[in-house]
Structures are given as C-alpha cells and as structure tokens.
Structure 1
C-alpha cells in the first residue's frame, strides 16, 4: 500500500495498524440481540457472564499501551470459534494483528477446564459398569450420537449440506438415566 493510497482511505476505512476503540462497546451497541447471537453464537448476557467468571484472570497487566480488555478478548475468541474463520480474518475485523488473535484464543481456550472436565478413574469405572448393566458392552465410556432438529428458517443460517434449517445436537450420554 503506497502513501498516496493511505491518504485516500475513506472516513469509514481504517488501516490495520490503527488501534481499535473498545470492541465491546462497538459490537454491543452495533448489533441487536438477534444479530449479536448470529455473529457470536451466544447472547450478550453470556458474554458478560463469561467476563464475570474469568475476566479478572485474563485482565491485561500492562498500562503501557491500549490493551485488549477481558470482554474484548472473549468477543474475539467467540467470533473466531463461531465462524471457523482464519485468525488473520478475525484480526482484520477487530483491527488487531493475527498473532494477537492467536494469543487471545489460546488464553481463553486454556480456561476450558472451568467448563469441561474429564471423569476421574473412579467415575470412569462407574460409567463403564452402568453401560455394561444396560447393554452388556464392557469398557464403554459413552455413546456419541448426532441429530438435526429441524427448525423454521431464522433467515441467517442454512445447513447447506442437507438443504434445511436445523440445530445440530450432539449427545454423549454416560449410561445413567437410560430409558427402559
């Protein structure tokens, strides 16, 4: 990009190096609840809830520059996972560099143990015994199943492979509360 092309940027175009102003305020005000959920796959309340849970853990420790606030890091991570896009593209959207997107998503993903827990050895044995009691299969830890729940068109999402509108539900039952 030449110097002359930089000077010809319109008012609503910003070079990537320019730091963004508070992302949270921009997207929280820019999108209504429905559009916000379509873009981030969660509600605004969920973002604030996540911020209340681990915001203090990921808060920037420096005051030397314009750091990404915890809620901004959460929004970047959610957008990255919601779209399955490249980190560079997410960086372009939020006016940050790709390595920053990588650092932020890694930091948030590290918090997964707050929500996802693998069973202990004792719990694994109990689950295996439950499955054995149900079906006679030894050493089974879970049965993965997936189904499409057909819905009316929300206007923003289409499952193009099956040409229908649906939620995809993935279930991993553990052998307890099985129907008899």
Structure 2
C-alpha cells in the first residue's frame, strides 16, 4: 500500500484491508496565529469562503472522503508553499491525482467569486513549467523562462480589482490590454470620467494616463510626480500578493488551465485578506526578486493633446 492511502495494485486490495490516517481538524488543533501562518487566512475567513462555495462537494468514496473544509485547507496550503503537489498531498493523505483535482476544483470555485472595477494597471509574470513543445516558446518571456503574463488592476487599498491570467509570457503588456474586456468597458465609457493609471509601457488614452518620459516644465513635473506615486500601488500589490501566496512567485508545476485558475483564486484570497485587514504573514520559502523593466512607448499623437490640456488647465496653476 502506498503512502497516499491508495492501492498500488489490485492484488493489494484483495490481500489486505486499507488503512487510512485520520485527518486532523486544523480549525481546532491550531491556534489563531498558527492557523493563519499555515493557511494565510484566518479561521473566520475560511468559514466564510466555505459558505460562498456551496458547489464544493465531498470527494472520494468509502470511508476516506475528503471534506470541503480539508479540500480548501489543502489548496490554501499549496498556495502558501508553492511546492510540488506530491509533497503537499501528504498534508491530508491523498494521491497526486487527487491533489491535482482538489487544487483545480477549489481554485475554480474561488475564481468564480471575482468582481471587477478600475484603478492602476500593470502586468507581472508568473512562472510555470514549460508547456508542450508546440507552444512552449510562446510562453517563454523576454527573461528566458516560461510564464503567464498576468494583467492586473488594483485600487489604493492594494485590492486586485481586475485580473487577466490567460496570456503567454511572450505577450506584450499592451497586447493584453488591447484584447481585454476592460479596454472595451473603458472605450464605451462604463467608468465615466475615471482614469486608469499606467506606466510608460502603455499608450496614452483619454481614460489611461501615463507619465511623461522627459518632463520639462514645472507643470509637467507636478503631473508626473503624483501619477507615479499613485500607480506605485500596483507594484506594492503584486509584492504583497506574491509574498502571501508564494505559489504565484515560484515556478508553478501545474497544467495551464489549472495554473490560470490558481492565479485568479489567489487574487481573490488576497482581496479577502485585505478586506479582513489580516496581517501579512512572512513566506515560509525563499522568493525570487520581483523586477520588471517597462518598455517605453511613443505617446505622440492626437491623444497627447488630452494630457497637455490636463497639465495646462490644472498642474500649471498649482
């Protein structure tokens, strides 16, 4: 019999009864600090999540079912460690195949809770294992490793309000934005007179403000300073998200569709932690440095007049 509580062959099943390790109720055996350290959320948030995911059903048959609570805790532990599923599987005593299904189902259920609004925009790369040879190079980013290029929008409270996690690492930030539902919403005026703040990788639009590459006048400098300071929230948000859930900072060893779901799910959980004002728990594993150099884009053209009028009518008078 294997360490996962599953038979290695049919003959094992006929010669010896299965023996299962009793699962621990971590909501009672761990105190509040230990629980949040291990699962990144507090007990109340976990209970609330379970209520919001009624379609998460008991898995397995016979006498060794995996309850929705244990499924959720397993997924949270995987997000917190970012390690191999086989290693985390021992946490609740399931096979690698069962672990994959649990992460897939829990991540998909959490991802359905997402809402969308507006704020500062940027992209960040999430490492993945190299896909099949036919599409592998498409996912190789400019730094040479396979990744998913994730577009996100956050607000001043570091909430991730809009996340797109389906583009390969070779995709340019602007391409992702141009093909996004968010751009359509902005083009049609869904957000009124609100602005999205981007860096120099993005084109200047009436609804998308970007910094001047070479500010000269005092008004231009006054325009740049608060814009850069305000959009810094997206970089901070990425940092908090990846430190809290290292699975999106390390190389994700999952199928592409499951990796997409995990990215969205951890973004939802990040927002729950922000809403609950939960302290940032230090990662249990060493994380790579998050660094990104934006690609400057020439913002010359008719749209530039919109920014010049904004500077002339407001910042030149300060």
What TM-score, normalized to structure 2? 0.37
- Equivalent pair of 2:32/2:42 in contact (CA under 8 Å): yes
Counterparts of residues 7-156 of structure 1 (less than 5 Å) = 15-17=3-5, 18-23=19-24, 25=25, 27-54=26-53, 56-60=54-58, 64-111=62-109, 112-117=111-116, 123-125=185-187, 126=189, 127=191, 130-131=194-195, 137-138=204-205, 140=208, 145-147=234-236
Counterpart Cα distance in 2 of 1:130 and 1:158: 39
Residue number in structure 1 paired with 2:295: none
More displaced stretch, 90-99 vs 130-139: 130-139
Match of 1:165 in 2: none
Deviation at 1:93, TM superposition (A): 2.2
Q: Secondary structure at the match of 2:235?
A: strand
Deviation at 1:19, TM superposition (A): 2.9
CA distance 1:134–1:64, change in 2 (3 Å): closer
Q: Output the CA distance in 2 between the equivalents of 1:115 and 1:137.
A: 28
Deviations 1:94-136 (A, max 9, x none): 2111111110110011120222545666633335963379999
Q: The residue matched to 2:41 in structure 1 has which SS?
A: coil
Bigger proportion of residues as helix = 1
1:11-41 C-alpha deviation (Å, 9 max, x unpaired): xxx9432434344x2x122211001100100
Quote the Cα distance in structure 1 between the aligned partners of 2:38 and 2:27: 11
Unaligned runs of 5+ in 1: 1-5, 7-13, 163-167, 169-179
Q: Which moved more, 1:14-23 or 1:81-90?
A: 14-23
Partners of 2:281 and 2:184 in 1: CA distance:
47
SS at 1:94's partner residue?
Answer: coil
Partner in structure 2 of residue 3 of structure 1: none
TM-score of the two chains, using structure 1 as the length reference? 0.61
State which drifts further: 40-49 or 129-138.
Answer: 129-138
Deviations 1:122-174 (A, max 9, x none): 6333359633799992164995722379xxxx996589679xxxxx9xxxxxx
Greater RCO (Cα-Cα under 8 Å, separation 6 or more): 2
Q: How many Å separate the matches in 1 of 2:198 and 2:89?
A: 49
In 2, Cα distance between the equivalents of 1:80 and 1:94? 12
Moved more, 36-45 or 116-125: 116-125
Let me know the Cα RMSD of the aligned residues.
Answer: 4.2
Partner SS for 1:80 = helix
